[in-house]
């Protein structure tokens, strides 16, 4: 069976990895010259600086287990030095003293900050429960419903914060910038509430990590282990259903597959679907 996966981010690369023993012939399409999707970094003074998917939390057991199994070196991300920069000046910076840091946070954001943190803790708690359930989900809404996140999933992150009474300063200086760091996408541009709150999980007291050679290298290793055919700089323009199979047309031509998985946001990929139910 021939399978095409469109997108080489953590979704596409992990799917390929988990199917590596399925005897499928897997091809992964990636429009850019490197794999990783939103997982991006730039080299700065000999070390990777993450500019998308900047960390992973211990609550994400899949990532934690994969790094252990594949022997990938990870580093705990320190929260001792944290600052807010608006492009012109430093708005806020932590102090060596936890007490002074807490006071500075309260002075700038008030007790309203505690309200946002309580929502984040609830999201993290329900995510942990997700791993304890031995269930298969056929859609994202089905998974969201199991975790009781229907409301925040259906609303935009920006609107959800406002509905929970989170003040504008916290939104613009903490919450929305966090989504840019994690997803390489600003949270006030159509992002749902669940995705937005996940980006704030780092604000609790549990350890968070990044991969020493850059988080994007996880995708590289997963694809290498899966022994896929990787088609880089090859943007998919259309998918057409032909009987029980699908033809994929990309910049490099047209190929017929038995199954296709779209592991990239449709609003970004802009792939034309022909003879396919868009629901």
Tens digit of pLDDT for each residue in 171-219?
A: 988 888 888 878 877 777 778 888 888 888 876 667 889 999 999 999 9
- Whether the pLDDT of residue 15 is over 90: the answer is yes
- Looking at per-residue pLDDT, the higher value among 132 and 194 belongs to 194
The yes-or-no verdict on residue 134 having pLDDT over 80 is no
Q: How many CA atoms, within 13 angstroms, populate the side-chain half-sphere of residue 96? A: 0
Q: How confident is the model at residue 80 (pLDDT cuts 50, 70, 90)?
A: low
The two structure tokens encoding residue 146:
């199991």
What pLDDT, on a 0 to 100 scale, did the predictor assign at position 135? 77
pLDDT at 96 exceeding the cut of 80: no
Question: What confidence score (pLDDT) does residue 199 get?
Answer: 85
Q: Is 254 helix (H, G, I), strand (E, B) or coil?
A: strand
Of the candidates 48, 56, 43, the one whose C-alpha atom is nearest the C-alpha of residue 14 is: 56
Compute the distance between CA of residue 248 and CA of residue 2 in angstroms, rounded to an integer: 12
- Under the banding of pLDDT at 50, 70 and 90, the label for residue 40 is confident
How many CB atoms sit inside 10 A of residue 34's CB?
14
Half-sphere exposure of 214 (CA within 13 A, CB side): 22
- Work out the percent of the chain whose per-residue pLDDT is above 70: 97
- Beta bridge mates, 93: 83
- Given a contact cutoff of 8 angstroms between Cβ atoms, the answer to whether 3 and 227 are in contact is no
- Name the residue with higher pLDDT: 62 or 12: 12
Positions of CATH 3.50.50.60 in the chain:
2-39+216-274
Query: Mean of the pLDDT values across residues 35-42?
Result: 88
Q: Which helix (H) or strand (E) holds 64?
A: helix 61-69
**Residues composing the chain:** 279
Q: What is the pLDDT of residue 8?
A: 97
Supply the pLDDT for residue 203: 65
> 267 falls in which pLDDT band (50, 70, 90)?
confident
Specify the pLDDT at position 138: 83
- pLDDT bracket for residue 279 (50, 70, 90): low
Asked whether the predicted pLDDT for residue 149 surpasses 70, the reply is yes
- What's the whole-model pTM score? 0.84
Average pLDDT, stretch 13-33?
A: 96
CA 144, CA 104: separation in Å to the nearest integer? 36
Q: Is the pLDDT of residue 250 over 90?
A: yes
What is the per-residue pLDDT for 14? 96
Closest C-alpha to 238, from 222, 223, 211, 260: 260
Fold of 2-39+216-274: FAD/NAD(P)-binding domain (3.50.50)
Instruction: Please provide the average confidence, as pLDDT, over all residues in the chain.
Output: 88
Q: How far is residue 238 from each of residues 27, 104, 247, 279, measured CA to CA in Å? A: 16, 52, 8, 16
pLDDT at residue 133 above 90?
no
In angstroms, rounded to a whole number, what is the distance separating the alpha carbons of residues 49 and 39? 11
């Amino acid at each position: 069976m021939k399978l095409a996966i469109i997108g080489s981010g953590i979704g596409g690369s992990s799917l390929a990895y988990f199917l590596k023993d399925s005897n499928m012939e897997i091809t992964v399409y990636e429009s850019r010259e490197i794999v990783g999707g939103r997982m991006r970094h730039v080299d700065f003074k000999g070390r990777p600086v993450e500019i998308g998917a900047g960390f992973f939390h211990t609550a994400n057991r899949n990532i934690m287990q994969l790094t252990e199994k594949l022997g990938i070196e990870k580093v705990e991300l320190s929260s001792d030095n944290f600052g807010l920069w608006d492009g012109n000046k430093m708005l806020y910076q932590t102090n060596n003293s936890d007490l002074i840091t807490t006071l500075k946070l309260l002075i700038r954001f008030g007790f309203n900050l505690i309200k946002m943190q309580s929502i984040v803790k609830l999201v993290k708690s329900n995510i942990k429960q997700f791993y304890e359930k031995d269930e298969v989900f056929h859609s994202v809404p089905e998974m969201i419903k199991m975790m009781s996140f229907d409301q925040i999933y259906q609303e935009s992150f920006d609107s959800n914060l406002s509905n929970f009474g989170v003040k504008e300063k916290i939104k613009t200086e903490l919450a929305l910038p966090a989504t840019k760091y994690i997803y390489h996408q600003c949270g006030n541009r159509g992002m749902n509430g669940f995705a937005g709150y996940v980006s704030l999980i780092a604000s609790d007291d549990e350890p968070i990590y990044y991969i020493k050679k850059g988080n994007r290298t996880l995708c590289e290793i997963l694809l290498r282990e899966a022994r896929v055919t990787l088609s880089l700089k090859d943007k998919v323009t259309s998918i057409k259903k032909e009987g029980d199979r699908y033809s994929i047309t990309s910049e490099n031509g047209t190929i017929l597959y038995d199954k296709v998985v779209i592991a990239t946001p449709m609003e970004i990929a802009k792939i034309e679907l022909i003879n396919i139910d868009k629901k």
